[in-house]
Amino acid sequence: MKNKFTVLIGVVSMFAMAPDYAQVSATSKIDGTPYLDEKFVEGKITLADKIWKVPVRYNIFQDLMEYKQNGQSLVLDPSSVIHKIHFGDNTFVVQKFEFKGKTKNGFLALLDSGKVMLFSKKGVLYLEGRKGGALDGTDLPARFTRTPDVFYYKIGDGELHEIESIKSMIASFPERQEELTLYAKKEKVSHKKEKTLVQFVQYYNSL
């Protein structure tokens, strides 16, 4: 009998997954990993006012959370009924964001919260192997490779916005724009660097 958690989330067996890289032979060598961390880490999945403690890992490539329960490996789609998932130093939430011109739900890492909430979307590419692809003529194995994180923010309960520049981000804030501009210039805040973005948003949220 399925428990309430399984029914509400609509989980499916991990073995029912159909990954894009399934065409690669199981015996083929694949460099890299589709996961944030291949190891399962004890975590907490929060659904409304319920919390489940289970081992969790994040499949970046497929944008799925994998977890273990009662000896089974299961997955969670990025459903809006999920409040947050926390494991290790990571907290993920489900947000609607634009991907290749379409709006979809996805797991975004929550980097800071307050008046402004800061998020990052992690990405992984799968690259096919190539015969004689290396400079010395040897074969190149198939591989997973991380892509740069894409950062997003939203003000209060407003819409999610991709951070394309610090200048445009500051322009969307309702106050303290001159002060924020000076801070960003002094601290050399980059819209591509997580550390400076987190510091910038933490500064704004502290005002």
Average pLDDT, the chain: 85
How do residues 174-183 score in pLDDT, each as one tens digit? 889 999 999 9
pLDDT at 9: 44
Strand, helix or coil for residue 205: helix
pLDDT of residue 43 exceeding 60, the answer is: yes
Task: State mean pLDDT over 24-41.
Answer: 81
H or E element: which one contains 109?
strand 102-112
Q: How far is CA 68 from CA 13, 37, 54, 74, 80, in A?
A: 10, 15, 6, 6, 21
pTM (2 d.p.)? 0.83
Q: 144, 150, 148, 149: which is closest to 35 by C-alpha?
A: 144
Structure tokens at 159: 């819409």
d(CA 33, CA 21): 12
pLDDT at 26: 46
How do residues 142-177 score in pLDDT, each as one tens digit? 999 999 999 999 999 999 999 999 999 999 998 899
The answer to whether 83 and 46 have CB atoms below 8 angstroms apart is yes
Cβ neighbours, 10 Å, residue 135 = 5
How do beta strands 142-155 and 30-31 pair? parallel
How do residues 53-63 score in pLDDT, each as one tens digit? 999 999 999 99
The answer to whether 189 and 197 have CB atoms below 8 angstroms apart is yes
Q: What angle do CA 46, 52, 53 make, to 5 degrees?
A: 115
d(CA 65, CA 63): 7
